[in-house]
Amino acid sequence: MAGLVPIAASARMAGDGRGTVGVIGPKRMHYENTMNAVSYIAQVFERMLHPPA
């Protein structure tokens, strides 16, 4: 795994559960785009698991 780096964001699950969404990519990736994408996916999962009442 030399040359790789993880980027992750937490996501709330149903009840008290929590999860993590992440990617493993090369050290020379475009971090801002990757962090935004991971954060967006975590938010989508939260919305799917906690729809508005």
- pLDDT at position 52 is 67
Q: State the DSSP code for 47.
A: H
Q: How far apart are CA 2 and CA 13, in angstroms?
A: 32
Q: How far apart are CA 33 and CA 49, in angstroms?
A: 25
Q: How far apart are CA 12 and CA 46, in angstroms?
A: 6
Q: Kindly give the confidence (pLDDT) of every residue in the chain, 53 residues in length, as a single tens digit, with 9 standing for 90 and above.
A: 789 999 999 887 766 778 888 999 999 999 999 999 999 998 888 888 776 66
Q: How far apart are CA 25 and CA 43, in angstroms?
A: 21
C-alpha neighbours within 13 Å on the C-beta side of residue 12: 8
